[in-house]
Amino acid sequence: MLGAVAPIPWQSARAEQALIGKALDQAGVAAAVSAVTVGAAPLSENGYKIGLLQTLLRRTLVSLA
């Protein structure tokens, strides 16, 4: 679940699917990072959160690898 990126807690099923059964290598992390924001439609004042979310996910997954 992702907080502070949508009006309600947001679950990214695409990112989850990109990770299931995959290694946490560079390709696996990149796939999840690109999938996490598919369909995101930021408001005019919070588009920066897309990049923040991608960076947070990348750092988290790399730390788990």
pLDDT (tens digit, 9 = 90+) per residue, 14-56? 999 999 999 899 999 999 999 998 888 788 888 888 898 899 9
Q: Is the dihedral of CA 43, 48, 54, 59 positive or negative?
A: negative
Eight-state DSSP code of residue 2: B
Confirm whether pTM is higher than 0.85. no
User: What tokens appear for 58 in the block?
Assistant: 């990348």
Q: Residue 40 burial (CB < 10 Å; 0-12/13-18/19+)?
A: middle
Q: Which residue has the higher pLDDT, 3 or 26?
A: 26
Q: Is residue 58 predicted with pLDDT exceeding 90?
A: yes
pLDDT computed for residue 7 by the predictor = 77
